[in-house]
């Protein structure tokens, strides 16, 4: 098996924001701010080497051949936690379109329970950035990738903050056409399938508890 491409963004500024996110004394506002800053760094690194297209412009002095992204990625935040990444990612790639996937892990089984899907029908030829701070067992990311591959996506980047080795391996074994951009790969998972040392529940730490409808 050819290994999945993975990029660990190991920059002092990324490490400082991640430390803020890990710190249990960081409040929700501080957590969201650090996630936003870190997303900027992750997206910046994820797009290094992306193909460019020429753009003819004029500076105030002379004609000039500049450039733009040849293929802006579709941004796909995985609700809820990925919502904290999409505004900053979109600011970095303002021309990007945005799709949405909503998944909540079952707290007992850690299985992904999907509740929202809003994606283009055909993703042939379109790069996709999946935004989710946490890659734990990998179940939620794999479900998202299956939705994308079913729509002919062949170029998927998982943009995450913290990954567990189990989640990285699950992506690798899936054979999906993907790569991983992440700030850190942590030690593992605890008995409740939370990443250790991790940062806790990335959805709760941004937005508070997740409420379910009476029907659930
Ligand atoms: O790799 P996995 O084991 O699937 O775990 C990772 C998922 O868990 C978290 O979402 P969660 O289910 O807590 O939903 P939330 O974002 O609404 O809090 C996280 O944002 C991922 O989507
Ligand atoms: O550690 C974890 C694992 C899954 N989801 C989270 O938000 N945190
Ligand atoms: Mg959560």
The whole-number pLDDT of residue 1 equals 47
Residue 41 makes CB contacts below 8 A (sequence gap 6+) with: 9, 11, 13, 14, 17, 183
- pLDDT classification of 2: cutoffs 50, 70, 90: low
Question: pTM of whole model > 0.80?
Answer: yes
Choice among 38-47, 51-60, 206-215 with the minimum mean pLDDT: 206-215
Query: Does the beta carbon of 47 lie inside 6 Å of ligand 1?
Result: no
Query: Does the beta carbon of 144 lie inside 6 Å of ligand 1?
Result: no
- pLDDT classification of 214: cutoffs 50, 70, 90: low
Cα(158) to centroid of ligand 1, in Å?
14
* 131-172 confidence digits (pLDDT tens): 999 999 999 999 999 999 999 999 999 999 999 999 999 999
State how far the Cα of 61 lies from the Cα of 66, in Å rounded to an integer: 14
Q: Which residues of 41-77 are buried (b: 16+ CB within 10 A; e: fewer)?
A: bbbebbbeeeeeeeeeeeeeeeeeeeeeeeebbbbbb
State how far the Cα of 99 lies from the Cα of 128, in Å rounded to an integer: 10
pLDDT surpassing 60 at residue 110: yes
């Amino acid at each position: 098996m050819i290994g999945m491409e993975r990029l660990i963004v190991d920059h002092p500024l990324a490490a400082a924001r991640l430390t803020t996110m890990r710190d249990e004394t960081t409040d929700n506002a501080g957590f969201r701010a650090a996630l936003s800053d870190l997303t900027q760094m992750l997206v910046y690194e994820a797009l290094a080497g992306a193909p460019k297209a020429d753009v003819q412009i004029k500076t105030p002095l002379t004609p000039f051949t500049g450039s733009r992204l040849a293929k802006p990625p579709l941004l796909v935040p995985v609700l809820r936690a990925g919502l904290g990444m999409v505004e900053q990612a979109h600011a970095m790639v303002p021309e990007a379109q945005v799709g949405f996937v909503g998944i909540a892990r079952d707290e007992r089984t850690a299985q992904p329970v999907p509740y929202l899907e809003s994606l283009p029908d055909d993703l042939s030829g379109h790069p996709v950035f999946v935004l989710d701070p946490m890659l734990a067992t990998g179940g939620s990311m794999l479900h998202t990738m299956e939705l994308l591959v079913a729509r002919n996506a062949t170029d998927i980047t998982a943009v995450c903050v913290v990954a567990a080795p189990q989640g990285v391996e699950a992506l690798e074994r899936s054979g999906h056409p993907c790569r991983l951009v992440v700030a850190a790969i942590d030690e593992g998972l605890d008995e409740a399938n939370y990443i250790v040392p991790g940062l806790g529940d990335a959805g709760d730490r941004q937005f508070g508890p997740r409420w379910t409808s009476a029907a659930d």
